[in-house]
Amino acid sequence: MGTLLLALSGWGVLAALFLLLYLYERIVRDASIVDVGWSGSIGLLAFGYAVLSDAPLERRILIGSMGVLWSLRLTVYLFFNRVYGKEEDGRYQNLRRNWGDRSGLFFFLFFQAQALLGLVFSIPFLLALTNTSASLSFFEWISIPVWVTAVLGETYSDLHLARFRSNPSNRGRVCQEGLWRYSRHPNYFFEWLHWWTYVIVGIGHWWGWINLLFPLTMTFFLFKLTGIPATEEQALKSRGEAYREYQRTTNRFFPWFPREHAS
């Protein structure tokens, strides 16, 4: 199947998927499911591209596995961390209040925007599968340990934080154990690193520069929009001086040894 047809078909699938998720949101009045849908949608398209692509089987298995396994891990984590047995995420509660009587229309548009965003972030997988070379390239082999490091690092960070938060005695405290000792946002760092995997995959191909847009976009989101600023604002509200001290001693993003405590 041609690349353009694959992309258009994928958009149609995601539009239908997010329509169903929107109807679910209308019933339960909880928009947190959109985060689960977004991460799951990318894996769904990566799987579809791998199955329907004309690329050699070895490459279809590699690229499809990268997309599906990354997506599955993140989707399961988000479901249990933000949806199952949880109240609606504060971000969506604020949107619901701000939109008032128009929330139905605006959430519909918001959900469909996530469908489009899912399609956009599936592009690295689609482009990688346009490579019809019979064997994996040197850079495709190099991308594998980078991908493994990123996914395992993010998994470890998420599980460590979840375990820390599950202990009632840690309420109001700041997690400074494991990778959280070396970075205030190790989960974000490894998610960012994951998107560099596809830049490596694209080295030597005309479309390689396009894949560079995704880690750069992720950098913008993490540093300027929904990532670090929102997370740290909430942490300062809930943990106060303890988090300010954490900010003084621990790198914001890139893991490194902690600084000495301020006197």
What's the confidence (pLDDT) of residue 238?
86
**172/222 same-domain check:** yes
pLDDT tens across 1-38, in order? 688 889 999 999 999 999 999 999 999 999 999 999 99
Print the domain residue range for 182.
137-263
**62/119 same-domain check:** yes
Q: What is the pTM of this model?
A: 0.91
Domain end, chosen from 107, 136, 165, is at 136
Please state the domain count of the chain.
2
**243/198 same-domain check:** yes
- Longest CA span, the chain: 64
Report residues of the chain scoring pLDDT below 50: 263
Q: Are 142 and 200 in contact (CB under 8 A)?
A: yes
Rounded Cα distance between 152 and 66, Å, is: 12
Domain end, chosen from 113, 136, 159, is at 136
Domain end, chosen from 89, 107, 136, is at 136
pLDDT tens across 50-77, in order? 999 999 999 999 999 999 999 999 999 9
Q: Are 207 and 130 in contact (CB under 8 A)?
A: yes
